Structure 1
Amino acid sequence: MPKSRIRKKKADTFAPPEKRTPTKLDMGGRRWVAPLMLAMFVIGLAWIVVYYITQADLPVESLENWNIVVGFGFIALGFVVSTQWK
């Protein structure tokens, strides 16, 4: 049977890691996304809470139970806006 080749080991050389320079994060001009997203969440939550606390008299009495849908609509818009956040 033929003899297998003997592999030579590479010399262990230590290479120090390169120095990293800190880079500034570029927000890409989308600084408005987080405040708008949070505002939509808070408005939606406040709309629903006010509806329940006032026993359907406020925020818009003529909408009746659709006030809940409006509140959840604001919350859904907050999630839609959150997709733009990087």
Structure 2
Amino acid sequence: MPKSQVRKKKVYTPPTDIRPAATAASKKPSPVWLPITAVALIVVGIAWLVVYYLSSQEYPVAAWQYWNLAVGFGCMVASLAILSRWR
């Protein structure tokens, strides 16, 4: 019985007008201060909340009352925003 011919697949090359312009080699790496700042903000946010709860809501700033929670969580959310820029 004769053997059937093997078809060769064509190599796909995307059109040049659709190809993405930025390649992985052209992207700049993140600056060194970025992860350091993000980790520092996380630590400050957690420390702020821990001090607030352990001091029976008297410290860090007693006049702010529950806004101390916003400061602590705000620091942690700001660190997430900074980390979204990390490459």
TM-score range, shorter chain: 0.5 to 0.7
Q: What TM-score do you get using the length of structure 2 for normalisation?
A: 0.67
* Structure 1 residues not aligned, in runs of 5+: 9-25
User: Percent same amino acid among aligned pairs?
Assistant: 29
2:60 aligned partner: 59
Larger radius of gyration: 1
**How large is the RMSD of aligned CA atoms in angstroms?**
2.7
1:41 aligned partner: 42
Measure the CA separation in 1 of the matches of 2:30 and 2:71: 30
Using the TM superposition, give the Cα deviation of residue 27 of structure 1 relative to its aligned residue in structure 2, in angstroms. Answer: 6.4
Q: 1:72 to 1:62 in 2, by over 3 A?
A: same
Aligned length: 68
Q: What TM-score do you get using the length of structure 1 for normalisation?
A: 0.68
Using the TM superposition, give the Cα deviation of residue 7 of structure 1 relative to its aligned residue in structure 2, in angstroms. Answer: 2.2
The one-letter code of the counterpart of 2:60 is P
Question: Hey, which bits of structure 1, 4+ residues long, moved more than 2 A?
Answer: 4-8, 26-29
